[in-house]
Amino acid sequence: MDVIENVKKEGLRRKYSIRTIETYLICIRNFLGFCHKDPRKFTKRDVKDYLDVLSEKNKSGSTINVNLQALKFMMEYVLNKRKYFYNIKYSKVARSLPLVLNKDEVIKLINSIENDKHKLMIKLLYSAGLRVSELLNLKVCDLDIANNFGYVRKGKGNKDRMFIIADSLKQEISDCIINDKLNQDNYLFRSYMGRMSSRTVQEIIKKAVHKIKLGKKVHPHTLRHSFSTHLIENGYSVSEVQSLLGHKSPETTMIYVHMVSPKFIAVRSPLDDLQLQDSFKKICCEDENFEERKSIMEENNNLSI
């Protein structure tokens, strides 16, 4: 029984994204290397033993969960063993705050890029909050430049969504289309090999970060995080930002509220309203026996020493 091929076919039939299918296949291949059995004889114990090995290797909660999801898909939809996963719980995933650049850092990063097309790519990543794959999959027909929006086609989760086009980029994008003689079905950013690779974008940002000596581990997705945080700082609601990012749940978008710069948070600490020192002096003045009790306390302290 060719489990790998069957998983691939089932994933394609269910219209899973290619990236999801490839991830599942990697997880399942690793499991097959661990469990040397006929797939029809796989048990829940085999799966739990494999997940325990991943845990012992100090793999992250998200990695363990992806493997569990892949094995669950294989067992339930390919091997017809649906009852095997009722009692296997997903791992807790630590929620860490993403790295965000402030607005000055974004300006320095963009201005350090000399190649006009490369600079436009990074501007578009930041200005629309796009993922790298979404940027590189953009075609001319996906853009409505005159009306300041475009469409992401089959983004994460195979979903389409709209994105905004900054006014300041409209002419640059139009010039790019004209100068490169692109037709409606062409990718907006392409290389001599066809569609540009994500590695190219990573290298553009890596060189820019090194050039301005930023001292932060910046990657393309950092610009998406920065876009979201800056929108919140500019007064847009979580629901508005959620729609632009294509998040299914507002809880995912809420993380950017925690990234907002302190100077944009109009919350005053209650400690600032207490005036502790003045209150202490007031109490002392109102207490007629305070000085006498203070003298006795000092004498006791000297005796104890």
Please indicate whether residue 45 is annotated as part of the active site: no
Map tokens 């436009």 to a residue: 120
Task: Provide the 10 A C-beta neighbour count for residue 243.
Answer: 13
Phi-psi region of 194 (alpha: psi -120 to 50; beta: other; left: phi over 0): left
Q: Which of 81, 118, 123, 247 is catalytic?
A: 247
Backbone angles phi, psi at 222, to 5 degrees: -60, -35
Please indicate whether residue 77 is annotated as part of the active site: no
d(CA 127, CA 169): 9
Q: Which of 156, 161, 195, 211 is catalytic?
A: 156
Q: Which of 8, 72, 131, 225 is catalytic?
A: 131
Please indicate whether residue 131 is annotated as part of the active site: yes
Please state at what angle helix 116-128 crosses helix 103-111, rounded to 10 degrees.
Answer: 160
Map tokens 């009852």 to a residue: 83
Please indicate whether residue 224 is annotated as part of the active site: yes
d(CA 244, CA 207): 28
d(CA 3, CA 72): 13
Q: Which of 72, 118, 224, 230 is catalytic?
A: 224
Alpha helix positions (H), 129-158: 132-136
Q: Which of 48, 206, 211, 221 is catalytic?
A: 221
* Residues tagged active-site: 131, 156, 221, 224, 247, 256
